[in-house]
Amino acid sequence: QKEVEQDPGPLSVPEGAIVSLNCTYSNSAFQYFMWYRQYSRKGPELLMYTYSSGNKEDGRFTAQVDKSSKYISLFIRDSQPSDSATYLCAMPGANSKLTFGKGITLSVRP
Amino acid sequence: DSGVTQTPKHLITATGQRVTLRCSPRSGDLSVYWYQQSLDQGLQFLIQYYNGEERAKGNILERFSAQQFPDLHSELNLSSLELGDSALYFCASSPYLRGTPDTQYFGPGTRLTVL
């Protein structure tokens, strides 16, 4: 079993839809939970991170962590075509090395 | 623009060859990470350097090596290349402050194609 599993894609939604992206993890030592966004032909960029269980909101984005279930989610409200990208969950381990999910490619149709 | 630069952008070479990928971290960042991204494996951590010293190793093949120089730029050397080494190679840098989530800033990547 991989340490971080991410729902496979791709995912295509109409503009304005609510998008839910999910990951599960197996390593209880993970304390921080990150979401990276990667546009085509670019490097990943940090979208947001959370430390504890619960929700964290940043504009149209909400990150949710359930440590008891080892399950994290990223919600995107009022999705826009500019949100079309690959989204990767990531968890820092020892020395901050990141373990990534495989990523899910989201396409938001105008 | 993350402030991390990588050269070259693209590299096409043949099996058995050796290549060097270069990374310049953001100004002030002491930590450099190398990652490999392929379609089947996703984004995988290779190796980390902090202020010139190796700090952590991931799934890095013995044919691969890296170093960080006194000016903090880093190079990833890939030798005896195989078809399966074709991938995107990313460098990331961070200030690596203990006790906080270490935000890593990724470069644009080098796309390596081994023919």
Mean pLDDT calculated for residue range B12-40:
95
For A36-69, what is each residue's pLDDT tens digit? 999 998 999 999 988 877 889 999 999 999 989 9
Measured between CA atoms, how close is A48 to chain B, in angstroms?
Answer: 10
From chain B, the residues in CB contact with A105 under 8 A are none
- CA distances B18 to A49, B7, B12, B78, B84, Å, are 38, 15, 11, 6, 14
What's the CA gap between A44 and B11, in Å, rounded? 20
As given in the structure block, the two tokens for residue B102 are 């270490």
Per-chain mean pLDDT for chain A = 92
pLDDT of residue B97: 63
pLDDT at A52: 75
**How close A3 gets to chain B, by Cα (Å)?**
12
Q: What is the pLDDT of residue A23?
A: 95
Give the 3-state secondary structure of residue A90: strand
Query: pLDDT grade, residue A2 (50/70/90)?
Result: confident
pLDDT of residue A8: 80
Interface contact flag, B42 A102, Cβ < 8 Å:
yes
The CA distance from B18 to B99, in Å, is 38
Q: How high is the pLDDT of residue A89?
A: 95
Q: What is the pLDDT of residues B57-109, one digit of tens each?
A: 998 999 999 999 999 999 999 999 999 999 999 999 998 766 566 789 999 99
